[in-house]
Amino acid sequence: MESIGIGLAGFGTVGAGVFQALQRNAELLYRRLGVRFEVRRIAMRHPAKKRAIAAPEKLITTDWSDLVNDPSIRIIVELMGGTEEPLNLFRSAIAAKKILITANKALLANHGIEIFQLAEAANVPIFYEAAVAGGIPIIKSLREAFVGNHFESIHGILNGTSNYILTRMTESNMDFHQALGEAQSHGFAEADPTLDVNGWDAAHKAIILASLAYGFWLNSVDIQVGGIENISPLDIQFARELGYTIKLLASIRSHLDEKIEVSVHPALIPQAHVLASVNGVFNAILIRGDIVGESLFYGRGAGQDPTASSVLGDLAEAAQAVAFPRASCGFKPHNLRGQVKEAHSCVSSFYLRLDVDDRPGVLAQIANILGRAQIGISSVIQPEGKDTHQTHLVLMLHNAPTGAASEAVSQIATLSCVKGKPVLLHVEHFA
């Protein structure tokens, strides 16, 4: 009976969940894999902190280098959070020829180039299924199941916290802060939810997916990122009247010029589209390949058990790498001249909401600016209101370059008849 030594770096919610899952399903894993996983060291920053799942005291250390220096440990599972300290762990572990597993999307998004270059040079495999979409096996699918496809597009709802907030705003007419408070009370949002609601948690995942799909590691400065903080019940109501649902959507698509478009922002999705029905804390990813066509992945994108499940899957693959060393380190560059399409040149249709003076000539002024920018108007909504001096004005705009639309809206905002800040949202038709 072979036993493989494991080192856990981090014992928070996910780390404790992995430890518990290894204990719960140890026999099942042995019967399926023919090996046993034995946790031999656990590195944690605050050993005295009370936890729902207790770690054996004899395994605890406060220094992750103890995991790297322990010759009985073959695999290190990094679940620490942050980027600086985990990056140092990765550098040391790769030099020591330790196989690595991580759920750290920010680490990979920001330092993937360095990490995979080091791993390739040292012939050390890295597994990271849990870094994107929790329990959904999307990394393995991109790398293996769809390896023979050119990817035409990938669209995803990749952040459960923001999706829960938007769902509650839609279902119960809550404002953003009410829905965020409810998410925090249920444990669906962190005390500091910044990366969830500003779009960057989803953006880190989108960078990993796009890099895998198109064969070159993307830089975070090259992608468009927007959050849901400024979405109001008014926008959700108007979107519903127009036949749409608002979601925080990650969009990745290739263009005829071979440039790759990557963005994360709140977008209007047709109510009839499958992604519009993804609610609560669930994630979904829609992939379109040139051979396979469309494939949908749906499931819990975060949380202790779904993430632990993906880590166990990576452990199973890592066990095979221990027995049969492999050449692949986890990322294979195959598009060394790949480029990201400039944000300002990406084309979309748009939803524009304005608060304006209710008087003749206002729409003409706005249409004049849009016309000069070569942006057409497909429909207009101006509801009757109790205020006889101001009204809401909603315009659905035809396809236009993002830069041109943003510049036109900036000019519209300077009109004396426009009150407050305009709201400009993308409309996604998945073409």
What is the C-alpha separation between 48 and 383, in angstroms, rounded? 59
Q: Which residues contact 24 (CB under 8 A, 6 or more apart)?
A: none
Assess contact for 188 and 302: CB atoms under 8 A.
no
In this structure, what token pair is assigned to residue 78? 């990094």
Name the strand (E) or helix (H) holding 42.
strand 35-43
What is the C-alpha separation between 283 and 426, in angstroms, rounded? 20
Q: Phi first, then psi: give them for residue 274, nearest 5 degrees.
A: -60, -35
What is the C-alpha separation between 33 and 222, in angstroms, rounded? 42
Q: What pLDDT score does 209 carry?
A: 97
Cα 407 to the chain's mean position, in Å? 28
Provide CATH 3.30.70.260 ranges for the chain: 344-427
419 is catalytic: no
CATH superfamily of 138-300: Dihydrodipicolinate Reductase; domain 2 (3.30.360.10)
Provide CATH 3.40.50.720 ranges for the chain: 2-134+304-323
Neighbouring C-beta atoms of residue 303, cutoff 10 Å: 18
For the structural domain made of 2-134+304-323, what CATH number should be given?
Answer: 3.40.50.720
What is the C-alpha separation between 219 and 281, in angstroms, rounded? 28
State which amino acid sits at residue 87.
L
Q: What pLDDT score does 387 carry?
A: 65
Helix (H, G, I), strand (E, B) or coil at 360: coil
Provide CATH 3.30.360.10 ranges for the chain: 138-300
Name the strand (E) or helix (H) holding 101.
strand 99-102
Q: What pLDDT score does 385 carry?
A: 64
Assess contact for 118 and 91: CB atoms under 8 A.
yes
Cα R_g (the chain), whole angstroms: 24
First to last CA, the chain: 53
Question: Has this prediction a pTM greater than 0.85?
Answer: yes
CATH architecture of 344-427: 2-Layer Sandwich (3.30)
Q: What pLDDT score does 336 carry?
A: 78
Q: What is the pLDDT along the chain (431 residues), one digit of tens a residue?
A: 589 999 999 999 999 999 999 999 999 999 999 999 999 999 999 998 888 888 999 999 999 999 999 999 999 999 998 999 999 999 999 999 999 999 999 999 999 999 999 999 999 999 999 999 999 999 999 999 999 999 999 999 999 999 999 999 999 999 999 999 999 999 888 889 999 999 999 999 999 999 999 999 999 998 999 999 999 999 999 999 999 999 999 999 999 888 999 999 999 999 999 999 999 999 999 999 999 999 999 999 888 999 999 999 999 999 999 988 877 789 988 887 889 999 999 999 999 999 999 999 999 999 999 999 999 999 999 887 666 688 999 999 999 999 999 999 999 999 999 999 999 999 999 97
Catalytic-role residue among 205, 332, 341, 386: 205
